[in-house]
């Protein structure tokens, strides 16, 4: 009995030490048209030893700005965000050598794909320039089929500079993979599509929609841990909406904001929830260049906790480490990724002073 207890103690101690020596593996999507980056970067970060090591860079893809890792962790899908030759790209994720191996490319046939997500059967791109959603199939080797479906949005909203036509900014699956939600910045609408995973045609079919605050520009959303609430960030005016989703139907339950200074120009960007579901974080670009923390209440509503400088210019995407200890913020215009330590109890962020220098970082994914 004593021997069993000793073994359990040693195992627990070993796991604790491993957690304390966590080495994070990070993929970075970038804009190559700036001339400051070459593609998708892979980094290894050892926070305890303060070692930041570039492992590889995958070249040959124009503006692989947004990335997605398949649920089984075997494949990576990346957009080519451009006016001409817009496409989705498939890669094999070689975890041992920490690099990507190109598989194939499939054209979106709609301009400016800026977001990509996947299920075991399909890949979806949100096409900002074209105001549409493109659906691809996935073959057994992870490669993409030609287009299976293209859904074109129509309409406009009240902002004459940004909302004269549809601009689809995100297409994201619900946690149960039953619905795909689409945020359209150009028409101030969130649309719910029923996901018909077994269909060869009409894979997505309209199910519900919600028009949000006019002129707000819905951009990105994230789900509560139980999947019952949606936290929706609006780019143009900094509104942060809390929505209830029930059997695919949407209902607004709260509106707050990341704009705590009326003299700033908003360009709110990305939003994520902590692994324990207790805190929500959102970035704001424009003249704000900050990240805001909210705590989540039992009813899903939000309470403001902190707003802190992003440590650079143009905080776009950000990522929370799987253990919740750190947040990495990609500052696109200042070409750096700032690492913040996160207090798991309070949610408060502290700039560690550590950063990764990479050209035009847009999307961060831990794997």
Mean pLDDT of the 122-132 span:
98
What pLDDT is attached to residue 84? Answer: 82
Element (H, E) at 229: strand 229-234
Mean pLDDT of the chain: 94
Q: Comparing C-alpha atoms, which of 200, 191, 180 is closest to residue 137? A: 200
pTM listed for this prediction: 0.94
CB 269 within 8 A of CB 315: yes
Number of Cβ within 10 Å of residue 7's Cβ equals 10
What pLDDT is attached to residue 82? Answer: 86
The tokens for 51 are 């070692």
Phi, psi of 104 (to 5 degrees): -165, 175
Residue 105, burial from CB neighbour count under 10 angstroms (0-12, 13-18, 19+): middle
3-state secondary structure of 244: strand
3-state secondary structure of 65: coil
CB 138 within 8 A of CB 118: yes
What pLDDT is attached to residue 21? Answer: 65
Residue 229, burial from CB neighbour count under 10 angstroms (0-12, 13-18, 19+): buried
3-state secondary structure of 14: helix
Residue 266 has pLDDT above 90, yes or no: yes
Which of 39-43, 216-220, 246-250, 261-265 is predicted least confidently?
A: 261-265
CB 78 within 8 A of CB 61: yes
Residue 215, burial from CB neighbour count under 10 angstroms (0-12, 13-18, 19+): middle
Q: How far apart are CA 47 and CA 21, in angstroms?
A: 8
Mean pLDDT of the 81-85 span:
86
Residue 293 has pLDDT above 50, yes or no: yes
Number of Cβ within 10 Å of residue 196's Cβ equals 13
Residue with tokens 């491993």: 18
Residue 263 has pLDDT above 50, yes or no: yes
Residue 150, burial from CB neighbour count under 10 angstroms (0-12, 13-18, 19+): middle
Number of Cβ within 10 Å of residue 356's Cβ equals 20
Residue 359 has pLDDT above 70, yes or no: yes
Higher-scoring residue by pLDDT: 192, 19: 192
Residue 107 binned pLDDT confidence (cut-offs 50, 70, 90)? very high
Q: Comparing C-alpha atoms, which of 188, 150, 181 is closest to residue 166? A: 188
pLDDT in tens, 11-47: 444 434 444 568 999 999 999 999 999 999 999 999 9
CB 104 within 8 A of CB 92: no
Percent of the chain with pLDDT over 70: 94
CB 182 within 8 A of CB 169: no
pLDDT in tens, 138-175: 999 999 999 999 999 999 999 999 999 999 999 999 99
């Amino acid at each position: 009995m004593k021997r069993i207890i000793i073994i359990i103690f040693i195992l627990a101690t070993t796991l604790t030490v491993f957690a304390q020596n966590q080495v994070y593996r990070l993929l970075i999507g970038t804009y190559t048209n700036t001339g400051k980056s070459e593609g998708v970067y892979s980094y290894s970060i050892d926070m305890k030893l303060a070692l930041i090591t570039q492992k590889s860079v995958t070249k040959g893809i124009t503006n692989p700005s947004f990335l997605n890792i398949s649920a089984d962790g075997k494949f990576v899908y990346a957009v080519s965000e451009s006016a001409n030759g817009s496409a989705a790209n498939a890669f094999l994720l070689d975890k041992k050598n920490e690099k990507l191996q190109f598989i194939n490319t499939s054209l979106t046939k709609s301009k400016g794909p800026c977001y990509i997500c996947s299920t075991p059967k399909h890949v979806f791109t949100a096409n900002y320039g074209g105001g549409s959603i493109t659906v691809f199939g996935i073959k057994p080797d992870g490669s993409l089929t030609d287009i299976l479906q293209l859904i074109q949005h129509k309409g406009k909203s009240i902002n004459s500079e940004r909302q004269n036509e549809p601009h689809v900014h995100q297409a994201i699956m619900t946690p149960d993979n039953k619905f795909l939600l689409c945020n359209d910045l150009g028409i101030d609408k969130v649309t719910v599509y029923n996901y018909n995973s077994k269909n060869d045609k009409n894979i997505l079919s309209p199910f519900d929609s919600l028009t949000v605050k006019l002129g707000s520009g819905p951009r990105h959303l994230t789900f509560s841990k139980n999947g019952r609430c949606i936290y929706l960030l609006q780019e143009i005016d900094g509104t942060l909406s809390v929505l209830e989703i029930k059997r695919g139907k949407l209902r607004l339950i709260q509106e707050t904001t990341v704009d705590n200074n009326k003299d700033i120009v908003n360009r709110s960007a990305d939003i994520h929830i902590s692994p324990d579901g207790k805190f929500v974080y959102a970035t704001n670009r424009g003249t704000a260049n900050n990240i805001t923390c909210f705590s989540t209440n039992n009813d899903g509503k939000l309470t403001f906790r902190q707003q802190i400088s992003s440590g650079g210019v143009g905080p776009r995407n950000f990522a929370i480490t799987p253990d919740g200890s750190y947040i990495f913020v990609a500052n696109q215009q200042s070409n750096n990724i700032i690492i913040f330590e996160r207090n798991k109890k309070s949610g408060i962020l502290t700039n560690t002073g550590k950063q990764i220098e990479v050209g035009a970082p847009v999307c961060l994914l831990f794997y």
